[in-house]
Amino acid sequence: LTPECSSYLNADKVLVSGFSCPRAGGDARAVFCCGFQDVKYCCDDPHSFFPYEHSYMWWLSVGALVGLSIAAVVLFAFIITVCVLCYLFISTKPRSKLDTGLSLQTA
């Protein structure tokens, strides 16, 4: 990573001119150019991916947990339903063998 952020087109297709890091009036420790093709910013961690506060990632994690929880409940309900249906099928099966109408006789 370099301390120079080249110009780029942002998400609104507006050209943002290049700049050097650290920026004037910004954090003096932010000496790296970070970001993506449509958003660039100065940062102090060259492995940083998001220019947002950690709360952004927190809400992303909460959303993922809620989605996984709903999926787990649906899967659990499906398994319980299958077990109940199997039990009902087995318990309502006739106990005696079917009468074929033929009686076995010894010769």
Most confident of 39-43, 45-49, 91-95, 103-107: 39-43
Report pTM.
Answer: 0.41
Sign of the alpha-carbon torsion through 2, 51, 16, 22: negative
Of the CA atoms within 13 Å of residue 59, those in its CB half-sphere come to 4
pLDDT of 39 reads 87
Q: Which of 8-12, 32-36, 45-49, 83-87 has the lowest mean pLDDT?
A: 45-49
Per-residue pLDDT, averaged over 68-90, amounts to 94
pLDDT tens readout for residues 19-75: 988 888 888 888 888 888 888 888 887 766 555 555 555 556 777 788 889 999 999
Torsion of CA 81, 87, 92, 97, to 10 degrees: 140
pLDDT of 70 reads 95
Using DSSP, state whether 9 is helix, strand or coil: strand
By the 10 Å C-beta count (0-12 exposed, 13-18 middle, 19+ buried), 106 is classed as exposed
- Rounded CA-CA distance 99/37 in Å is 77
